[in-house]
């Protein structure tokens, strides 16, 4: 299986084929509904967001809390289409990769292609399995959102399938 090192670059994305299974290694950000709404509201009102999105890959997930001594709890993907209303703004701000589950809207699909970005799906409901592929976890921003806070995860050989590029 093809191994991809993160952060992504447009050159890496060019080598990917839709339907291809890959293993991702490197840093990703997490964000789901509430964090997306806050990021985009801030960007649209010309505010400063607490993390840089440029060149990043966002994993749509809201993990369970880590047990003491563990890195993270169960951590599988959430349904991506709920982020569709926010993705265009993030793509415009340099977002390159997204990891989630399920189809995207027609509009977001064409924007991902236009911006030379990529959307991966991973295995929904396999949160226990996927948590074993996560080697680092720190909260970067929006701590008050709890599970919906923005985390920096370090993933290793994380299975994903190229869905849109």
Partner 1 sequence: MRTINSKLITDTVRALCIKANIELRKDVLLALRRARKKETNSKARRILDIIIQNALIAKEKRLPICQDTGMVVSYLKIGQDIKIKGDIRKAILEGIANAYRDGYFRKSIVQDPLIRKNTNTNLPPVIYTKIVPGNKMDIRVIVKGFGSENSSRTKMFRPTDPSSLIEDFVVRVVRESGSKSCPPLYIGIGIGGTLDKAVSLSKEAILRPVGNYNKAPHIARLEKRLFKKVNNLKIGPMGMGGKTTALGVSVLTYPTHIAGLPVAVNISCHATRDAGKVV
128 binds ligand SF4 (CB under 6 A): no
Residue from the set 47, 50, 125, 136 that interacts with ligand SF4 by CB under 6 A: 125
Q: Between 74 and 93, name the residue whose CB sits nearer to partner 1.
A: 74
- The rounded distance, in Å, linking the Cα atoms of 80 and 68 is 30
Does position 76 interact with partner 1 (CB under 8 A)? The reply is yes
Report the distance separating Cα 157 and Cα 82, nearest Å.
Answer: 26
Query: How many other β-carbons are positioned within 10 Å of the β-carbon of residue 93?
Result: 15
> Is residue 3 a contact residue for partner 1 (CB under 8 A)?
no
Q: Provide the pairing of β-strand 150-164 with 118-121.
A: antiparallel
Residue count of the chain: 165
Structure tokens given for 75? 């951590």
Q: Which of ligand SF4, partner 1, none is residue 7 near (CB under 5 to 8 Å by kind)?
A: none
Question: Residue numbers of the site for partner 1 (CB under 8 A)?
Answer: 21, 34, 61-67, 73-76, 78-81, 101-103, 121, 123-132, 146-147, 159, 161
Name the site residues for ligand SF4 (rule: CB under 6 A).
76, 124-125
């Amino acid at each position: 299986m093809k191994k991809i090192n993160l952060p992504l670059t447009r050159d890496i994305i060019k080598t990917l084929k839709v339907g291809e299974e890959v293993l991702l290694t490197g840093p990703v950000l997490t964000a789901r509904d509430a964090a997306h709404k806050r990021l985009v509201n801030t960007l649209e009102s010309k505010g400063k967001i607490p993390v840089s999105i440029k060149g990043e890959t966002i994993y749509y997930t809201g993990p369970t809390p880590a047990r003491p001594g563990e890195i993270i709890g169960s951590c599988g993907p959430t349904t991506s289409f709920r982020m569709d209303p926010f993705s265009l703004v993030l793509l415009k701000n340099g977002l390159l990769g997204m990891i989630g589950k399920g189809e995207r809207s027609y509009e977001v699909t064409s924007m991902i292609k236009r911006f030379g970005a990529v959307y991966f799906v991973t295995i929904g409901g396999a949160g226990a399995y996927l948590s074993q592929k996560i080697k680092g976890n720190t909260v970067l921003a929006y701590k008050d959102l709890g599970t919906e806070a923005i985390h920096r995860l370090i993933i290793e050989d994380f299975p994903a399938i190229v869905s849109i590029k």
